[in-house]
Structure 1
Amino acid sequence: MKKSIFGLLILILFANKSFAQTATAAEQEVIQLSKQKWEWMADKNVDKLTPLFDDKSVFVHMGGSWGKIQEINVIKSGGIHYKKADIHEVSVNIIGNTAILLNRITLLAVVGGNEVTNPFMVTEVYIKDNNGWKLGSLSFTKLMVPGQ
């Protein structure tokens, strides 16, 4: 009986692994770029962020929306200091030269001098051109989930 249960468990584990999806190289590249972006935002590293953000990029926040120049200025001035993004889940879908990445995060930030923590689903849209991936859109949706 123990052998059959053990055999069944092994079979289930192998079957489960064979159905698990692994990210493609392009998906991994976008996931890594997004992770770096959170670090650069926390470090207020506008020298790295400026070439990453497309000139036509848009940023949607709880308090409004704006383009690349205003986002860079907000980060540089500390108007919003993205101190730490704890990433809980990440997924990415690539459609042609566009990658849509979803991050479920808890964001620790300083906004208007006040430290705040919020749970967000963040949508990032990246477009690939000859120079690599560029961020086209970054949108925050506040989650209303208890315990987050």
Structure 2
Amino acid sequence: MPNRVLAATATVAAALALTVTTSGSAQASIVSGYRGCVTTGASGGYDYSNYHGPDAKVAIKFNLSDTASDGHHVRIRFISKNVNGTIKYWAWRSNLDGAHTTKYWSTTAADSSGLFDIGVQVARFKGNTVLNACADW
């Protein structure tokens, strides 16, 4: 009987060690990628890195192009979802330089409610009114 208890204890200990090792290495991996979209008169997106989970401080490199000679300006912003699935709309960044121009920005994003999903929204504006927009998650 004692050998069975010892064998069961060793099996449980090995399983726990494997679980701890596996979850630790998965959390340590860094994810990078691109989010972007195109709408009438505007295209943009961002490269991201260091997105390894909800507690990450994500590095973001935006690009935003005004693609139409229409007198309107274009904007881009980071969007995210928290633990409850609620979408957070971050501040807009604008390209006011006119048609066929591209602007670039670098920043970071972190949220105490977590970054459970990240995306981008690109829009063409007339004043402060959105004329059309797109998003990519």
TM-score range, shorter chain: under 0.3
- The normalised TM-score by structure 2 is 0.28
Structure number with greater Rg is 2
- The normalised TM-score by structure 1 is 0.26
Q: Which structure has more helix as a fraction of its residues? A: 1
